[in-house]
Structure 1
Amino acid sequence: MTEKNEKLTIRISNEELEEIDSFLSYNSNYASRSEFIRLAVLEYISIKRVGIITKNNSIHPDPVIEKAVSRMVAAGFYKSIDSAYEEIIKEAWRHNLISEMLKNTDDEYSKIEKILEGEKKYDKQ
């Protein structure tokens, strides 16, 4: 049974479309505008779900987390923000939270890859 694909219409300015087309002209990894936009949206969702690590591997936590960690540093529980995050990551590692998160992310990525493979076939039709 073939999955039904939904068609989505978006409004985008000519300048934004030119920017996308310019990017695509130098990046042959994308078969179409549709594929690029789908991947960009999915990547954005993924980044927002994790909410702590940016693309350049710097830490950018949710403001609530950042405020709580800053309070703990100010109270003297940690020497610095960096040492607080380091300890949080070590503790998460000890409790297998990171490996579970990575497994879940890998599972989600695999699902997205399957969807995209179906979309590539759909775009070629």
Structure 2
Amino acid sequence: MIGRLNHVAIAVSDLASGTAVYQSMLGAKVSEPQAEPDHGVTVVFVELPNTKIELLEPLGENSPIARFLESNPSGGIHHVCYEVDDIIAARDHLKNEGARVLGTGEPKIGAHGKPVLFLHPKDFCGTLVELEQA
């Protein structure tokens, strides 16, 4: 069921500073900032040969990233995203196995324009997992 690693998401309090670290220090190609109001974040993607790093900055006071940064002021890894061939079949399989799907359980459109779901970190070794339709 699980496909390739799509990205690792890192929460940052200052997207411009985070972008500069990846561009200047690591010489990475970084996308333009993209606001995702449905998810309460502004994102950039750091392009790597085999995957991406997603830098997340809070967009608004109710952003889940703002809450994450309250507990982790210097930022840090927020979630990992795996691709799945069929997000509804994956959701149903995982729920049958006892995994908790966050939110309503219905996919939302993510930053790549594809359906995504999030899975409770307590069910996945302490890691928030995002599934994205391949």
Same structural fold, with TM-score higher than 0.5 when normalized by the shorter chain: no
Q: How high is the TM-score relative to the length of structure 1?
A: 0.24
The structure with the largest helix share of the pair is 1
Q: Which has the larger radius of gyration?
A: 1
| Greater relative contact order (CA < 8 Å, ≥ 6 in sequence) | 2
